[in-house]
Copies of this chain bind each other. A is one copy, B any other.
């Protein structure tokens, strides 16, 4: 049997490694939402993580897992979203260079945030080919290590620490659920949950407009040829190859939700939990509402992934 791409031992090592840098985010409950769902629910509030999302856990673990000499040459990634900001701040905690390749036309506020956390921003053409080429060129010139947003074992191990904290805070759970995009958070969550609570179901939530993971799991092979169409800007990427294998190995079941369901759930989270969550986070509440019969009377833990939203453009005002 092969060594797994990422194991629970890696998650535990990540927890120890990132502890001095991450926020121990709160685990929240809302009796209104519990009544609505007919279940006991614990929400791990990663919007309150540094940089506003769980991504800081994985980025921080990847940065601090590097040997000193290699780390000194810096890190590089491509991301116009939460991973870019997370890697920038993670690199700053170790005082090493960080390069973030963003496509021309990326949201200026997000690019400004990556710069504010101290990274050097490189703009490329908005194609996968130019993105890869730009990353390779800069890595070649600087010796910086590529930290992929989700298809990276140390990133996955770091993301798994959120479920670790959730399960430790909530106690025995019947179901743990997280959003699924590239599958970094979900595979880390599945690894931690399977090790800590083998009988606990591992569920994912995915937008209908980027449901490649649900399709891939149904087909038994990775199917990532699609054009994303969803309000969940954090979940548009295709599931990673190692991530897909981990989700399959851990029996992850995915519920898909429409953007209308997600936006309604996002508003319910703001109103009942008083946490600023981004649409990607709200997919889990939308999915639980669709699974009410299956969770009736059970103990459910969910991971709210992030809270980076444009406060001038609430999605419910435009729908």
Q: Which residues of B contact A312 (CB under 8 A)?
A: 316-317
Number of interface residues of A (CB under 8 A): 24
Chain B residue nearest to A50 in the complex (CB) = B31
Binds B, one of A22-30, A67-75, A286-294: A22-30
Task: From A50, A274, A312, A314, name the one whose CB has the most chain B CB atoms within 10 angstroms.
Answer: A274
Chain B residue nearest to A116 in the complex (CB) = B32
Q: Is A284 at the interface (CB under 8 A from chain B)?
A: no
Within 8 A of B (CB), among A299-319: 307, 311-312, 314, 316-317
Inter-chain contact B307/A316, CB cutoff 8 Å: no
- Could you tell me the distance between the alpha carbons of A50 and B276 in the complex, rounded to whole angstroms? 17
Inter-chain contact B271/A311, CB cutoff 8 Å: yes
- Copies of this chain, complex-wide, total 2
- Could you tell me the distance between the alpha carbons of A163 and B174 in the complex, rounded to whole angstroms? 36
Q: Is A158 at the interface (CB under 8 A from chain B)?
A: no
Inter-chain contact A307/B274, CB cutoff 8 Å: yes
Provide a sorted-by-A list of 23 A–B residue pairs whose CB atoms are within 8 angstroms: A23-B29, A26-B26, A26-B28, A45-B274, A47-B274, A48-B273, A48-B274, A267-B311, A270-B276, A270-B311, A271-B276, A271-B311, A274-B275, A274-B276, A274-B277, A274-B307, A275-B275, A276-B276, A311-B314, A311-B316, A312-B316, A312-B317, A314-B314
Residues of chain A whose beta carbon lies under 8 Å from any beta carbon of chain B: 23, 26, 28-29, 31, 45, 47-48, 50, 52, 267, 270-271, 273-277, 307, 311-312, 314, 316-317
Other 20 A-B pairs with CB < 8 A, given A26-B28, A274-B277: A23-B29, A31-B50, A45-B274, A48-B273, A48-B274, A52-B274, A270-B276, A270-B311, A271-B276, A271-B311, A274-B275, A274-B276, A275-B275, A275-B276, A276-B276, A311-B314, A311-B316, A312-B316, A312-B317, A314-B314
Top 3 A-B pairs, shortest CB-CB distance: A26-B26, A47-B274, A274-B307
